[in-house]
Amino acid sequence: MPQRLIAAVLFVAACVLGGCADEARQDGRVVIDYWEVWSGFERDAMQAIVDDFNASQDRIYVNFLSVSQMERKLLLATAGGNPPDLAGIRSADVPVFAENGALTPLNGHAALYGIEESDYLPAVWELLTLHGRLWGLPTTPGNTALHWNKTLFREAGLDPDVPPKTIAELEAFNEQLTRFNDRGEIAVLGHLPTDPGWWQDSWCYWFGGQYWDGEQITADHPGNVRALEWMRSYPERFGRSQILAFKDMSGNFASPQNPFFQGRIAMQIQGPWMYNFINNFAPEDFEWGVAPFPTEDPADYGVNLVETNLLVIPRGAKHPNEAFEFMAWVQRPEVIERLCLLQRKFSPLSEVSDTFYAEHPNEFIKIYRDLAAHPKATSRPPLTTMHEYQADMVNANDAVSRADATAEDALAEVQARQQKLLDRMQRRWNKVADSRQREWDQLDQEAAR
């Protein structure tokens, strides 16, 4: 058994045998066990919120625990019948947890507290729902945008305050920004799709492509083909060995050796978390800007990928009502704005106070938030097969970039494999869908009493 899995099993076994917290404190409070994925300053931010809640009343005590390998441990604990009362997960994991019966639907709870869809940004609310059910409430969201080095723009003769808006403009800027040293090596690149490489599977969105159409896999969509051909153009234009050498000379993302901070790459796709890295690792005089990432079609300008962290109640939690009371408290505007300020994110709520923007240290935070509210804001599809799909898309990108396959052939292979996988998962779901819906109906009815 792999060491990581052994560690996860031992962690869950300890909780099952010994309990992660006492059922009640000596002061009579109900103890809520809350597991969270965050570490570092993000964990500290939520700890501050938990401390405020615990001090605000005398009936419930939230026992906050930062947990590594959260997804695996939470599934194991739920399957073992001893989950925490509350957990923080990523929106990408909702389909797997929900369809495997590991979450408690929250429609009934939300109705009691008057929590509605209109309270949230549409793109965020979409990440919380599946099969007509509400599965969680958001904490801190994030999304994608273009980030550019204004100093490099200025040195290249470009207006530092005017970013590219189309892929054609991006590449024109790229040509003007890219420089070579005396040895013919790349000294500065305007842009590189594989730096840092976090969205290699998702460039299709900026080319009008898509993963699926709501029913069927669409890996071979023409927009997806154009995105792969665009990525292939980089090793063709600059040389595969040249790009590999350039990347080899770059340091870790979270370090002063990040090529964006060093002035070796002028443009990156990133999110609101970038402020923290710039604040910690970039030179003090680093000048940067934020705007929508360019799109192939000008009509699509504003496309961005939205994701969120969220709070969920695992199936079988001992204190779901008390757990939701804390969740609802976190959704209060003043509370969630404080959490998002501490984590340097934007608020998931549909209305945001002027004070939030005035106090936020990131001067560009409203740009991210406005992008998340944009009609072109989107997210990866809610598929239980999504992790496998993403891996296949990355492999297709690699094959095309190495000239081992054409974009059409590589995506046709992904199309066939992923449609087969989705069909198999759909057949499994169809066998349990009715019983799951009845179970969820009962849970919602119990919560609404």
pLDDT digits (tens, 9 = 90+) for 153-196: 999 999 999 999 999 999 999 999 999 999 989 999 999 999 99
| Bridge partners, residue 290, by sequence | 147
CB 347 within 8 A of CB 340: yes
| Bridge partners, residue 129, by sequence | 134
Which architecture, in CATH terms, is 145-305+380-425?
3-Layer(aba) Sandwich (3.40)
In tens, the pLDDT along 113-147 reads 999 999 999 999 999 999 999 999 999 999 999 99
Q: Give the contacts of 415 (CB within 8 A, at least 6 positions apart).
A: 217, 218, 219, 220
CA geometry: angle 253, 250, 345, nearest 5 deg: 20
The per-residue pLDDT string of the chain (449 residues; one tens digit each, 9 = 90 and over) reads 454 444 444 444 445 433 454 455 668 999 999 999 999 999 999 999 999 999 999 999 999 999 998 889 999 999 999 999 999 999 999 999 999 999 999 999 999 999 999 999 999 999 999 999 999 999 999 999 999 999 999 999 999 999 999 999 999 999 999 999 999 899 999 999 999 989 889 999 999 999 999 999 999 999 999 999 999 999 999 998 999 899 888 778 999 999 999 999 999 999 999 999 999 999 999 999 999 999 999 999 999 999 999 999 999 999 999 999 999 999 999 999 999 999 999 999 999 999 999 999 999 999 999 999 999 999 999 999 999 999 999 999 999 988 899 999 999 999 999 999 999 999 999 999 999 999 999 988 888 77
- Return the DSSP state at 212: B
Per-residue tokens: 27? 């002061």
- Return the DSSP state at 345: -
* Residue 154 Cα distances to 73, 190, 191, 199, 289, angstroms: 49, 13, 16, 27, 13
Query: For 250, phi and psi rounded to 5 degrees?
Result: -90, 145
User: Which residues of the chain does CATH 3.40.190.10 include?
Assistant: 3-139+310-373, 145-305+380-425
The whole-angstrom separation of Cα 184 and Cα 391 is 34
Q: Provide, for the chain, the percentages of residues in helix, strand and coil under a 3-state DSSP scheme, each rounded to the nearest 5.
A: 50, 15, 35
Q: Give the contacts of 107 (CB within 8 A, at least 6 positions apart).
A: 133, 134, 444, 447
Segment holding 8, helix H or strand E: helix 3-18
CB 287 within 8 A of CB 158: no
CB-count burial class (<10 Å; 0-12, 13-18, 19+) for 2: exposed
* Residue 80 Cα distances to 5, 13, 73, 290, angstroms: 15, 9, 10, 46
* Residue 21 Cα distances to 63, 74, 83, 308, 381, angstroms: 7, 16, 12, 28, 36
The whole-angstrom separation of Cα 113 and Cα 57 is 17
Cα atoms found within 13 Å of the Cα of residue 242, Cβ hemisphere only: 18
CB 32 within 8 A of CB 326: yes
CB 36 within 8 A of CB 88: yes
The whole-angstrom separation of Cα 139 and Cα 64 is 15
**Length of the chain, please?**
449
Query: Looking at residue 9, what is its pLDDT?
Result: 47
Which architecture, in CATH terms, is 3-139+310-373?
3-Layer(aba) Sandwich (3.40)
CB 61 within 8 A of CB 31: yes
CB 146 within 8 A of CB 163: yes
Cis peptide before 83 (omega within 30 of 0): no
Task: Identify which of 252, 204, 218 has the alpha carbon closest to the alpha carbon of residue 397.
Answer: 204
